[in-house]
Structures are given as structure tokens and as C-alpha cells.
Chain A
Amino acid sequence: MRQKEQSPPPSPSTRLRHRKHTKSQEVFPDVSKLNGGSNLLVDDQNKYRSMWVRTLSSLWMLGGVILILYLGHLYICAMVVIIQILMAAELFHLRRIVHESKRLPGFWLINWYFFFTAMLYVYGRILRQHLVNTVTSDKFFYKLVNSLFKYHMVICYFLYIAGVMWFILTLKKRMYKYQFGQYAWTHMILIVVFTQSSFTVANIFEGIFWFIHPASLIAINDVAAYFFGFFFGRTPLIKLSPKKTWEGFIGGSFATVLFAFMLANILGQFRWMTCPRKDLSTGWLHCDPGPLFKLEYYPFPNNIAQLLPWKGMWISPVQWHALWLGLFASIIAPFGGFFASGLKRAFKIKDFGDSIPGHGGFTDRMDCQMVMAIFAYIYFQSFVLAPGSSVEMILDQIERSLSHEEQQKLYAMLGQIFQDQKYGYL
């Protein structure tokens, strides 16, 4: 892949496209650029070998993901955290390479210090309730964990402030601009990395479905766009990624939406995928999945039913939501890829890293996923979450934290307020 430098750096989609096919798109331009017949066999061998490398690493990634899915929520979160650390390492390293000339000893330590402070803050917030639920059996731990969480915000704030003070005290004359630039770059990296991973983790604990479905849609969109572009691609889509075509884009959209619909049906039938995890255990889950995942039978209208062997379809309400997710994944999520391409061109880098053989770094794989994970979470919170859940949460709190007398007192106070309101309205 790296020998063919004349073409602009391929974006993740094109790389995925290359994964499946014999790269016919690149054979022809290369044949035209060949100086002599003697290079042909060598090139072919390299192309097959690099395709083999890419397919192998893709299979490993796929296998790893499936294994982790089977293991459960906690392991998926661990996977997300590890991917995050690797992404941050790539991006921190990148900035240092781009400005190789100046190196300050110990400066990279500040980067990782801010990273771990941000991790403590973000995961502390998200997993607060889950952690509390895990230790409810033991009174002592419960009190300990509760008091830790009460001061969680202060602790993280003081850790951050200590980092800022450390930064200010290490400012060196004539290096101010470089150091401030590094500081800003660190913050941007942390924001980008942690926003998407925190939303991903929040999704996971709502149900693995809400993590695996959007993530697969992105992968499918890439693959489908490649296929359609390969067979029908003619008009280029955007200057930033010259290999993408409108035909690939539109065909990929249709395929993604269709696939979203069907995948939601399949995934929704597994309790392991649809049940939310309320604590940090790793055992099997039992829950009532709710009306969202219940399959309902829709018989086809008569004229269509005569043509098809099936008389009707089983559809669960979640599939309609999946259509929206598919639409977003095909139309807006690719902009994450464009952003990454533009960024790489702006700073004249080919890939974000080289952790994954044949694919580049982790950031190259995750660029579209980031946009999608945030949307999935926001969509879930706004449109899917049942309205009765906040009542449940408050009832939970009342049952757990108030004594019987206090509950009765609360009940009386509420009753009084309702009476007042009723009379107020009259």
C-alpha cells in the first residue's frame, strides 16, 4: 500500500474496500504508470500480500469483537477503554512527530496525567450508579463508595488544577508557543477521545444492542459503499476523498438502511443484547425487554401476499428506530471520515498510526464510529427511553435512602402540595 504514493492517502472507506477485493481500481492506474513489464509480477505479489495482510487483520478484529461481545458488558467497556488509550497514544505521538524539533523532558507525562484525570472523571460519572448498585450488599462498602462519589467532582477538579499548575510552573522561556500549542492539542485529543468513548460506554450499559447495532452499521456502510463504488462508481463525491463516488454513497445508503432494519430484528431477539445492565456484575441477564423488542405480526396486503411465499412479517418497534440510525450512519457519519482525511492532509500525514497492519492506526478505524456513537446515545435518550423511567429512578431512591417514617412524611407532603395545586387552579 505504501509503495503507491501517487494517489492521495486513501481514506478508511477505500481501505475497507481494498480489504475485500483484488484492488482492481488500483491495478489499472498502476499498469499505466509502470515503466516496464518486469515490475508487474512484483507489484501483483505485493498487492496480494497486502490484501492478505488486511484480510487477516480484519478477521482478527472481527473475531476479537465477537468474543468480547459474548463475554459481556464489562469486557466490552474494557475493550473500549483500551482502544481509547491506544487512540490517545497515537494522537499524542502524532503531534510530537509533526513538531519534531522541540522536545521537552517530562512533557509527555503531563499528557498522560490529564488523560487519567479525564478518565477518572468521565467513568466515575457514568458508572456511579452502577458501582453503587454493585456494593449494596455490604453496608460498609456502600458508605465508603457513596462518600467517595460525593467528593468525586472535587477530587477530579483538584487533580486537573494540579495539572494546570504543573504546566504553568514548567513553562520555559522561548518555548511558550510550543508548550501552549501542545496543551491545546492535548485538550482537543482528550475531548475527542473521551466524548465518544463515554457515550459508547453509556450505550453499552443500556443494552449491548445500542452499541453493536450502530457500530455494525458503520462497518456495513463502508463495505457497501465500496462495492457499489466498485461496480457503478463514476461521479466523484468530494474533493477531500477522491476515491469516493456518488453511486457508492447512494447505493451504500440504501444497503445500510435495509441492513439496519433486518439486523435490528435479529439482534432484538437476544436478551443478552437488549437487557440493560444496572450494576457491574458479569453474570447472565434476565429482564423484561419491554414493548420495544416485542415482535408483532404484520400481514401483507393481499396482492403482495400472492407474489411472495411469506404471508406476513414479524416486526418489532425497534426496527423503525433502526431505520433512523441507518439513515444517520449512511449520510452523516461519513463526514467523520472526511474530517479525518482533511486533517491528515492539513498536517501532511498518511495515517494516524500503524498499529493495525494494513489498516493504519486505531484512529483511522474509529473516525466514523465517533460521530455515530454520540448520535446513538442522544437518539436513545430522546426518543427511545421510556418516559416512566425517571419515575422509577426516583422511586428507587426513595425506597433505598429514606426510612419508613420519612417515606410517609414525603407522601403526606406530596399530598398537601397536590391539594394546594388543585385549589390554585380553581
Chain B
Amino acid sequence: MDRDNGSGGPSTPSGPTARLRRRKGSTEVAPEVETNGDRLLFNDRNKYKSMLIRTYSTVWMIGGFVSIIYLGHLYIWAMVVVIQIFMAKELFNLLRKAHEDRQLPGFRLLNWHFFFTVMLFVYGRILSQRLVNTVTMDKFLYKLVGRLIKYHMVTCYFLYIAGFMWFILTLKKKMYKYQFSQYAWTHMILIVVFTQSAFTVANIFEGIFWFLLPASLIVINDIAAYIFGFFFGRTPLIKLSPKKTWEGFIGASFATMISAFVLANIMGRFQWLTCPRKDLSTGWLECDPGSLFKPEYYTVPQWFPEWFPWREISILPVQWHALCLGLFASIIAPFGGFFASGFKRAFKIKDFGDSIPGHGGITDRMDCQMVMAVFAYIYHQSFIVPQSLSIEMIMDQILMNLTFEEQRALYTKLGQIIIEKQFGES
């Protein structure tokens, strides 16, 4: 792939879409033909080899992904954590200067200390209630877990302060600027990595559907943008990524929205994907999916062509929400890719890493996903979760936020309130 860039003129680091386009390889055949005829076969062989590598790694990624979806929420969470660790490692390595680092032993350890502190904080918050629900069987464990959760915030805060003090005590003369920039850089990395993974994990436990659908939409958008750009691409889209075109962008938007509509229908029929997970078990899930996933039947209007096989289509209400997700995925999520491209150009790096053969690093794959995961969570919280404070929600709160004793206390008090009201009315 490096040689391809060199022969194609002033090389420009490209976003994930361009790389995906290059996966098929055809866009770069034309420039090569014009330049050096004698290197054609040489280039061709490399291009096919690199395309094979990319396809191979893509297939492996998709295969691994599908098997983890089958295994369940807990394993998806583990996958997210692993991806996160790799992303953080890539990004930590990026702006380190080997010379300064030799004079500061143990500075890398500080980065990982902050990483694990933030991980403890973020996942502790999100999964504390589910952890409690898992250990309700054993009285002793329940008390232990309850106490750990109560002091969770203090623990994380003191771990962070310890790291902060460690940082200050290791400040070395003449290295101040480097150390402070590394400190700031560490914080930015952790924020970027953990925001998106925290929202992703929160989505997963609301139902795999809310993780799988947005993620697939990003992938579909990339591939569709490439195909449309390949066949119809003419006007360039943005200076940051010269290979992207307006035709690809608009065509991909349509394709993404249509596939969002269709995918939501398909995915919404599986209870494995739509049921929320209330604890940390790994068994099969059964639940009432709610009105959002109940199919409604619409008769096909008269003006539809004769060859249309169905006279009646079933639409799940969630498909309308999926349209909004698709709109966001096609219009706004690519800006994550532009941001990453601009960032790479600003710091003159080609790829964030080289973990995935043919694709670059994990951060290169995840840049658009990050924006999408955050939006999916916020959309879910604002528009999908029941609109008004209903009995179910309060029930959830009572069961999730209160200990047994507190639940009993609430029950007694509620009883008193109801009796007082009855007396007041009669």
C-alpha cells in the first residue's frame, strides 16, 4: 500500500472510506497506467496481494464480530474493552518522543494507571446496578458489593489523586513542557476512548439491537460511499479527504437510510437482540419486547407495481427511529472520519497504528463509530425510553437503586400515604 501511494503522486493520508475503496483496488489502476508501463505488473501483483490481505482481515473481523454477538452481552462488553485497550495503546504511542521517554522511567506506567482508574470509574457506574442484580442470591456477597458500590466514587477519586500526586512528584527540570503535554494528551485520549466505549456498553445492555444497528450503519455507509464514488464520483467533497466525492456521499446517504429501515425490521424480530439485560448473566433472554418491536400491518397502496410480492407489509415502529439513526450515520458520522484525517495530517502520521493488516490501526476503524455510538445512546435515552414517568420506570428505579431494607421502608411509607389519601377523600 505504501508503494501505491508513492506512485500516485503527492500522497495524501486518506480516511477509512478511501482505504475501503482501495480495498477493491480499481481507483488506483488508472494513475499507474499513465506513469510507468514497465512497473505495471509489479504494481498489479502487489495491489492484488494487498487487496487479498484486506479482504482476508475484513472477513476475519466480521466473522469474529458475528460469533461474539451470538455469545452475548458480556462477551461483547469484553470485546469493547479489548478494542479500547488497543486504541489507547496506539494513541499513547503516537506522540511519545523516544528521547525524552528514556529520561523519564515509569512515565508510561502513569498513563496506564490513569487508564485503569477511568475504566474502574466508568464501568463501575454503568454496571453497578447489574452487578447488584447478579449477586442477589448470596446475602454476604450482596452486602459486600453494596458497600463497594457505595464507596466507588471515593475509591476512583483517590486513585486519580494518587496518580496526580505521582505526576507532580516526578516532574523533572527542563522536561516540564514535555511532561505537561503528555499529561494533557493522556487525558484527551482517555476522554475520547472512554466516552464512546461507555456509551457503547450502556447501549449493549439496553439491547444488542442498539449497538449492532448503529455499528452496521457506519460500515454500510462506508461501503456504499465507496461503490457510489467508484461508479459516479466526480466532484470532490472536502479538502481533507480528496478521494471522497459528493456523489458518493449522497448515494451512500440514500443507501444507508434504506438499509437502516430494512435492517431494523430484520433485527427487531430476534429477542436476543432486542431484550435488555438486567444483570450480568450469560443465559438466554426472554422478555416482553415492548410496543416498539411489535409489528404493525399496513396494506400496500394501490399504486404499487404488480410484481411486488407482498400485499401487506409489517412495519415495526422502531424502523422509523432507525431512519433517524441512518440519517445521522450518513450525514454527520463521516465528520468523525474527517476529524481523524485532519488530525493525522496535522501530526504528519499515516495511520494510527498497524494492528489490522491492510487497514491500519484500530483507531482508524473506530473513528466514525465513536460519534455514532454517542448519538445512539443519547437518541435512545431521549426518544425511545418511555416518555413519561410511568409505573415501570419507577418500579425499575426502586428495584435497581434501593437495598432490600430501603425497599421495605418505601413500601411501608407508600402504604401510609395511600391510606392517608383514602381517609382524606372519604
Residues of A at the B interface (CB closer than 8 Å) are 150-151, 153-154, 157, 161, 164-165, 168, 171, 173, 176-177, 179-180, 184-185, 187-188, 191, 238-240, 332, 335, 338-339, 342-343, 345-347, 371, 374-375, 378-379, 381-383, 387-388, 390-391, 394-395, 397-399, 401-402, 404, 406-411, 413-415, 417-418
Does the CB pair A414–B398 fall under 8 Å?
yes
Task: Kindly list chain A residues whose C-beta atoms are within 8 Å of the C-beta of B382.
Answer: 150-151, 153-154
Does the CB pair B157–A176 fall under 8 Å?
no
Task: Kindly list chain B residues whose C-beta atoms are within 8 Å of the C-beta of A332.
Answer: 161, 165
Q: Which residue of B lies closest to A168 (CB)?
A: B338
Q: How far apart sit A164 and B334, CA to CA, in the bound complex (Å)?
A: 12
Which residues 112-168 in B have Cβ within 8 Å of A in the complex? 150-151, 153-154, 157, 161, 164-165, 168
Specify which of A374, A379, A391, A397 is in contact with B394 (CB 8 Å cutoff). Answer: A397
Task: Kindly list chain B residues whose C-beta atoms are within 8 Å of the C-beta of A391.
Answer: 402, 406, 409-410, 413
Does the CB pair B188–A184 fall under 8 Å?
yes
Task: Kindly list chain A residues whose C-beta atoms are within 8 Å of the C-beta of B379.
Answer: 154
Does the CB pair B184–A395 fall under 8 Å?
no
Smallest Cβ distance from A114 to chain B, in angstroms? 14
Task: Kindly list chain B residues whose C-beta atoms are within 8 Å of the C-beta of A187.
Answer: 188, 191
Having A335-B168, A379-B154, A410-B414, one finds 18 other A-B pairs with CB under 8 Å, namely A154-B383, A177-B347, A187-B191, A335-B161, A346-B177, A347-B180, A388-B406, A395-B414, A398-B394, A401-B388, A402-B394, A404-B418, A411-B414, A411-B415, A414-B395, A414-B410, A417-B399, A418-B407
Smallest Cβ distance from A224 to chain B, in angstroms? 21
Decide yes or no whether B176 CB sits under 8 A from chain A: yes
Q: Which residue of B lies closest to A375 (CB)?
A: B157
Does the CB pair B389–A404 fall under 8 Å?
no
Decide yes or no whether B187 CB sits under 8 A from chain A: yes
Does the CB pair B180–A411 fall under 8 Å?
no
Does the CB pair A171–B240 fall under 8 Å?
yes
Interface SS of chain A? helix
Does the CB pair B389–A401 fall under 8 Å?
yes
Q: How far apart sit A399 and B401, CA to CA, in the bound complex (Å)?
A: 18
Q: How far apart sit A191 and B192, CA to CA, in the bound complex (Å)?
A: 13
Q: How far apart sit A181 and B345, CA to CA, in the bound complex (Å)?
A: 13
Task: Kindly list chain B residues whose C-beta atoms are within 8 Å of the C-beta of A150.
Answer: 382, 387
Q: How far apart sit A401 and B203, CA to CA, in the bound complex (Å)?
A: 27
Smallest Cβ distance from A8 to chain B, in angstroms? 11
Specify which of A342, A343, A387, A415 is in contact with B411 (CB 8 Å cutoff). Answer: A415
Query: Using a Cβ–Cβ cut-off of 8 Å, how many residues does chain B contribute to the interface with A?
Result: 63
Contact A347 to B177, CB < 8 A, known contacts A154-B382, A177-B347, A390-B406: yes
Smallest Cβ distance from A81 to chain B, in angstroms? 23
Task: Kindly list chain A residues whose C-beta atoms are within 8 Å of the C-beta of B398.
Answer: 394, 414
Smallest Cβ distance from A138 to chain B, in angstroms? 19
Which residues 407-426 in B have Cβ within 8 Å of A in the complex? 407-411, 413-415, 417-418, 421
Contact A188 to B184, CB < 8 A, known contacts A153-B381, A177-B346, A180-B343: yes
Task: Kindly list chain A residues whose C-beta atoms are within 8 Å of the C-beta of B378.
Answer: 153-154, 157
Contact A168 to B339, CB < 8 A, known contacts A151-B382, A382-B151: yes
Task: Kindly list chain B residues whose C-beta atoms are within 8 Å of the C-beta of A342.
Answer: 168, 171, 176, 180
Does the CB pair B411–A184 fall under 8 Å?
no
Q: Which residue of A lies closest to B165 (CB)?
A: A335
Task: Kindly list chain A residues whose C-beta atoms are within 8 Å of the C-beta of B188.
Answer: 184, 187-188
Q: How many interface contacts (CB-CB < 8 Å) are there between A and B?
A: 154
Interface SS of chain B? helix
Smallest Cβ distance from B335 to chain A, in angstroms? 5
Q: How far apart sit A402 and B374, CA to CA, in the bound complex (Å)?
A: 32
Q: Which residue of B lies closest to A342 (CB)?
A: B171
Does the CB pair A168–B332 fall under 8 Å?
no
Contact with A along B342-353 (1 / 0, CB 8 A): 110111000000
Contact with A along B369-399 (1 / 0, CB 8 A): 0010011001101110001110100110111
Smallest Cβ distance from B133 to chain A, in angstroms? 13
Decide yes or no whether B239 CB sits under 8 A from chain A: yes
Does the CB pair A418–B411 fall under 8 Å?
yes
Q: How far apart sit A239 and B170, CA to CA, in the bound complex (Å)?
A: 11
Contact A413 to B346, CB < 8 A, known contacts A154-B379, A184-B184: no
Task: Kindly list chain A residues whose C-beta atoms are within 8 Å of the C-beta of B45.
Answer: none
Does the CB pair B406–A410 fall under 8 Å?
no
Q: How far apart sit A238 and B172, CA to CA, in the bound complex (Å)?
A: 12
Contact A404 to B335, CB < 8 A, known contacts A154-B379, A191-B187: no
Q: Which residue of B lies closest to A167 (CB)?
A: B339
Q: How far apart sit A79 and B369, CA to CA, in the bound complex (Å)?
A: 40
Can you list 8 pairs linking A and B with CB atoms under 8 Å apart?
A154-B378, A154-B383, A168-B338, A168-B342, A184-B184, A335-B165, A347-B180, A407-B418
Decide yes or no whether B99 CB sits under 8 A from chain A: no
Task: Kindly list chain B residues whose C-beta atoms are within 8 Å of the C-beta of A335.
Answer: 161, 164-165, 168
Decide yes or no whether B3 CB sits under 8 A from chain A: no
Q: How far apart sit A379 and B338, CA to CA, in the bound complex (Å)?
A: 42
Q: How far apart sit A401 and B395, CA to CA, in the bound complex (Å)?
A: 13
Does the CB pair A413–B391 fall under 8 Å?
yes
Task: Kindly list chain A residues whose C-beta atoms are within 8 Å of the C-beta of B395.
Answer: 410, 413-414
The 10 nearest A-B residue pairs measured at CB: A176-B346, A346-B176, A401-B389, A177-B346, A346-B177, A346-B180, A154-B382, A180-B346, A382-B154, A338-B168
Q: Among the interface residues B171, B184, B332, B374, which one has the most CB atoms of the partner chain A within 10 A? A: B171
Task: Kindly list chain B residues whose C-beta atoms are within 8 Å of the C-beta of A387.
Answer: 406
Decide yes or no whether B39 CB sits under 8 A from chain A: no
Task: Kindly list chain A residues whose C-beta atoms are within 8 Å of the C-beta of B397.
Answer: 394, 397
Q: How far apart sit A409 and B388, CA to CA, in the bound complex (Å)?
A: 17
Q: How far apart sit A148 and B90, CA to CA, in the bound complex (Å)?
A: 40
Task: Kindly list chain B residues whose C-beta atoms are within 8 Å of the C-beta of A157.
Answer: 374-375, 378
Specify which of B150, B165, B176, B417 is in contact with A399 (CB 8 Å cutoff). Answer: B417
Q: Which residue of B lies closest to A381 (CB)?
A: B153
Specify which of B154, B388, B394 is in contact with A394 (CB 8 Å cutoff). Answer: B394
Task: Kindly list chain B residues whose C-beta atoms are within 8 Å of the C-beta of A401.
Answer: 388-389, 394
Task: Kindly list chain B residues whose C-beta atoms are within 8 Å of the C-beta of A408.
Answer: 418
Q: How far apart sit A85 and B421, CA to CA, in the bound complex (Å)?
A: 49
Smallest Cβ distance from A152 to chain B, in angstroms? 9
Q: Among the interface residues B164, B180, B346, B409, which one has the most CB atoms of the partner chain A within 10 A? A: B346
Decide yes or no whether B221 CB sits under 8 A from chain A: no
Does the CB pair A411–B411 fall under 8 Å?
yes
Task: Kindly list chain B residues whose C-beta atoms are within 8 Å of the C-beta of A343.
Answer: 180
Does the CB pair B180–A395 fall under 8 Å?
no
Does the CB pair A382–B171 fall under 8 Å?
no
Smallest Cβ distance from A83 to chain B, in angstroms? 22
Contact A161 to B332, CB < 8 A, known contacts A332-B165, A397-B389, A410-B394: yes
Task: Kindly list chain A residues whose C-beta atoms are within 8 Å of the C-beta of B187.
Answer: 188, 191
